[in-house]
Chains A and B, each alone.
Chain A
Amino acid sequence: MDQGRTHRIRRRLLKGGHFLGLFLAMSIICLPGLWVVLNSFRPTVEIMAKPPVWIPTELNLDHYRAMFGGVGEGGVPVLTYFWNSMIISLTSTAIALLVGMAGGYAFARHRIPGKAAIFVGLMVTRAVPGVALSLPLFILFGRIGIIDTHFGMILVYVALNVPFTIWLIDGFFRQVPKELAEAAEIDGCTRWQAFWKVEFPVARAGIASAGIFAFLTSWNEYALASQLTRSLNSKTMPVGLMDFTSQFTLNWGGMCALAVLMIIPALVLTFLVQKHLIAGLTFGGVKG
């Protein structure tokens, strides 16, 4: 009996320890985000206060109002940036997914000599920092005249995302047994139907996560966008953040407000995609 009790106590302590550890880790991860959200609602004096004010005394929407206001009063063309970001991110994600699916499927289903080397090659392209790419790209894009266009940015982000989407989607398709497609073919499908009616739906949760990944990469990318976008034609939201810096001052509150506006669509999209595509999917069509 006694032994059972000490065992129980130890289990409870262990659980409490886990909880505490998780809480600390999550605080460290979440605190900057929370701070951004908080700052977007606080007057500039409070943001800049030293020592910092932890518990806000006043919350208002001044920064948001100013942001959407006229150019003279700290306003920025939020809607245009938002629109540019959306078009560029969604289009490049869609294309990267299509290429990723074609490539990933081919890698997963066919014996391709030198596959490991090709994958390392794909990853190496991603090891080059964006800033290092930005100057050559700037010159190249300048020559062919696609600087400051949606097309140019979409091209860059597709190139950025394709290695990862291929790599991720290859992994997901390899988890789908090839007998599923064979069964579908015997059941009367063409090769094409077998893919879309069986293999794709079974792998779609994985493909969706690759899509979220590609979307977030494009949505948040700054290093390349800051060089290759010049004006309202194509400036994306991360680049728009720099509108709040001027030679001698930094409008922290405005920046935080725009950052919050950036976070929201990304959160909503991620949530929707996950809920819609991943919920209700159960595996087990084949014996493990």
Chain B
Amino acid sequence: MAEVVLRDVVKTYGALPVVHAINLDIAHGEFVVLVGPSGCGKSTTLRMIAGLEDISGGEVRIGDRMVNDLPPRDRNISMVFQNYALYPHMTVRENLGFSLHIAKRSKPEIAKAVAEAADILSLTPLLDRKPGQLSGGQRQRVAMGRAIVRHPDVFLFDEPLSNLDAKLRTQMRVEIKRLHQKVGTTIIYVTHDQVEAMTLADRIVIMRDGHIVQIGTPLEVFERPVNSFVATFIGSPPMNLMPATVTGGALRLADGTALPLPPGLSAHEGQAVQFGVRADNIMPEGHSLPPTAHMAHVDMPVTLTEPLGTETLLFGTLAGTEVQAKMLNPRPVRTGEVLRFGIALDKCHLFDAETGASLRV
């Protein structure tokens, strides 16, 4: 059993705080992804869990032990680094077996564990090569193999895929997920790529400037973002945000366009807000999903199209803001063509214009 618990964990470099009292409970066997823009403190948090950075305040527990003052070797964790950090002077076999060798396991035992890990990751034909003779994807797999031979309590991944090309990245993403299904070990995974976060995670932890902004399953953070930052960070293309005010029980956009107030939101009269709608919820008539109970309609000229095959992304301008919309069963669209779009209001969001906080009740 190895759950990981962070209690008010703080990291400061000198006087500069980079992680502010974060709290996180990770269950045994859970796949948790820390995601956020570059520099938000994800790696620092992960490295504190690994024992590679001192913890300035708070408590980190792995299993039933407080590990604040334990060196990395006593925490029973494995880590995969962004640059793989394979030992260049050792063969793949020696790289995989290194931790067991250090733990003074017997030769046959090491050979068996290495063979097993090599088998899981299809590394068997590469065992006698040195890291310098491997491709990026192969190095990546060796790094993962080195992490699994030991059967640790927790796997830590720090942006393990960001040095791979797009195709390989998708492939390795699937392999990592399979690996998790196979070994069932707790995984804490750091990335700045929201697609990786959405596809891999049981639960996503969204961080910004050293704070945790939201914790939830991929669907939760996608459907119910707590603020405009999460709303625009998660999902592709990013959610459209338009400045608006609440007047007379309706939503008035910058150019005066009035829309009914989306249901399930609490906004007071005169409040300045941001109206958020994803491309999936603003679609041209005749090329959209079946209408929902609360629909609003707007006319919008198309300024740019991005055909993706099964759908086309349409760029237009609504109330002075550039908006991306989605067209299903696409047909060719001319630039400048004015289309009538339906907005599914019950899927829309309102955020306070000042704090960015969601106004969903």
Q: Is the CB of A185 within 8 A of B88?
A: no
| B102 sits at the interface (CB 8 A) | yes
Q: Is the CB of A184 within 8 A of B52?
A: no
- Residues of chain A within 8 A (CB-CB) of B98 are 184, 187
- Cα separation A189 to B86 with both chains bound (whole Å): 15
Q: Is the CB of A283 within 8 A of B102?
A: no
- Residues of chain A within 8 A (CB-CB) of B78 are 186
- Residues of chain A within 8 A (CB-CB) of B136 are 287
- Residues of chain A within 8 A (CB-CB) of B81 are 179, 182-183
Q: Is the CB of A286 within 8 A of B84?
A: yes
- Cα separation A287 to B135 with both chains bound (whole Å): 10
| B79 sits at the interface (CB 8 A) | yes
- Cα separation A179 to B83 with both chains bound (whole Å): 8
Q: Is the CB of B72 within 8 A of A182?
A: yes
A285 partner, pick from B51, B102, B132, beta carbons under 8 A: B132
As a 0/1 sequence over residues 269 to 288 of chain A, the CB contacts with chain B under 8 angstroms (1 = contact) are: 00000000000011111110
Q: Is the CB of A286 within 8 A of B73?
A: no
Q: Which residue of A lies closest to B102 (CB)?
A: A188
Q: Which residue of A lies closest to B156 (CB)?
A: A186
| B181 sits at the interface (CB 8 A) | no
B-contacting residues, A168-196, CB 8 Å: 177, 179-180, 182-191, 193
A-contacting residues, B261-308, CB 8 Å: none
- Residues of chain A within 8 A (CB-CB) of B55 are none
B84 partner, pick from A185, A191, A285, beta carbons under 8 A: A285
Q: Is the CB of B133 within 8 A of A284?
A: yes
| A201 sits at the interface (CB 8 A) | yes
Q: Which residue of B lies closest to A190 (CB)?
A: B73
As a 0/1 sequence over residues 103 to 122 of chain A, the CB contacts with chain B under 8 angstroms (1 = contact) are: 00000000000000000000
Least Cβ distance of A102 to chain B in Å? Answer: 21
- Cα separation A183 to B95 with both chains bound (whole Å): 11
| A202 sits at the interface (CB 8 A) | yes
Q: Is the CB of B73 within 8 A of A287?
A: no
- Cα separation A181 to B130 with both chains bound (whole Å): 18
A-contacting residues, B126-143, CB 8 Å: 130-134, 136, 139
- Residues of chain B within 8 A (CB-CB) of A191 are 71
B89 partner, pick from A177, A183, A202, beta carbons under 8 A: A202
Least Cβ distance of B74 to chain A in Å? Answer: 9
For A, the interface residue count at a CB cutoff of 8 angstroms equals: 25
Least Cβ distance of A182 to chain B in Å? Answer: 5
Known: A184-B98, A188-B99. A285 touches B88 (CB 8 A): yes
A202 partner, pick from B51, B88, B102, beta carbons under 8 A: B88
| A159 sits at the interface (CB 8 A) | no
As a 0/1 sequence over residues 2 to 45 of chain A, the CB contacts with chain B under 8 angstroms (1 = contact) are: 00000000000000000000000000000000000000000000
- Residues of chain B within 8 A (CB-CB) of A190 are 71, 73
| B195 sits at the interface (CB 8 A) | no
As a 0/1 sequence over residues 88 to 105 of chain B, the CB contacts with chain A under 8 angstroms (1 = contact) are: 110000000011001100
| A198 sits at the interface (CB 8 A) | yes
Known: A287-B83, A287-B136. A186 touches B89 (CB 8 A): no
Q: Is the CB of B88 within 8 A of A286?
A: yes
Least Cβ distance of A281 to chain B in Å? Answer: 6
Q: Which residue of B lies closest to A191 (CB)?
A: B71
For B, the interface residue count at a CB cutoff of 8 angstroms equals: 31
- Cα separation A197 to B88 with both chains bound (whole Å): 12
B131 partner, pick from A177, A184, A189, A284, beta carbons under 8 A: A284
- Residues of chain A within 8 A (CB-CB) of B2 are none
- Residues of chain B within 8 A (CB-CB) of A182 are 50, 52, 72, 79, 81, 85
| B77 sits at the interface (CB 8 A) | yes
A189 partner, pick from B51, B52, B102, beta carbons under 8 A: B102
- Residues of chain B within 8 A (CB-CB) of A282 are 88-89, 130, 132-133
- Residues of chain B within 8 A (CB-CB) of A186 are 50-52, 72-73, 77-79
| B122 sits at the interface (CB 8 A) | no
- Cα separation A177 to B81 with both chains bound (whole Å): 11
Least Cβ distance of A80 to chain B in Å? Answer: 41
Known: A186-B78, A283-B132, A284-B133. A177 touches B73 (CB 8 A): no
- Residues of chain A within 8 A (CB-CB) of B229 are none
Q: Is the CB of A193 within 8 A of B102?
A: yes
- Residues of chain A within 8 A (CB-CB) of B150 are 187
Least Cβ distance of B174 to chain A in Å? Answer: 21
Known: A180-B85, A285-B84, A287-B84. A187 touches B102 (CB 8 A): yes
- Cα separation A286 to B83 with both chains bound (whole Å): 5
- Residues of chain B within 8 A (CB-CB) of A284 are 88, 130-134
Q: Which of A188, A190, A281, A285 is most buried by chain B, counting CB atoms within 10 A of its CB?
A: A285
- Cα separation A186 to B67 with both chains bound (whole Å): 14
- Cα separation A179 to B103 with both chains bound (whole Å): 20
- Residues of chain B within 8 A (CB-CB) of A201 are 89
- Cα separation A179 to B79 with both chains bound (whole Å): 10
- Residues of chain B within 8 A (CB-CB) of A287 are 83-84, 136, 139, 163
Q: Is the CB of B87 within 8 A of A198?
A: yes
Known: A282-B130, A284-B130. A188 touches B73 (CB 8 A): yes
Known: A186-B79, A188-B103, A190-B71. A177 touches B85 (CB 8 A): yes
Give me 13 other A-B pairs in contact (C-beta within 8 A), A185-B52, A282-B132, A286-B88 excluded.
Answer: A182-B50, A182-B85, A186-B51, A187-B146, A188-B103, A189-B73, A190-B71, A282-B88, A284-B88, A284-B133, A284-B134, A285-B84, A287-B163
Chain B contact residues, CB within 8 Å of chain A? 50-52, 71-73, 77-79, 81, 83-89, 98-99, 102-103, 130-134, 136, 139, 146, 150, 163
Chain A contact residues, CB within 8 Å of chain B? 177, 179-180, 182-191, 193, 197-198, 201-202, 281-287
5 A-B pairs with CB atoms under 8 Å apart are A183-B79, A186-B50, A281-B89, A282-B89, A285-B85
Nearest 6 CB-CB pairings of A with B: A284-B132, A285-B88, A179-B85, A187-B99, A282-B132, A285-B86
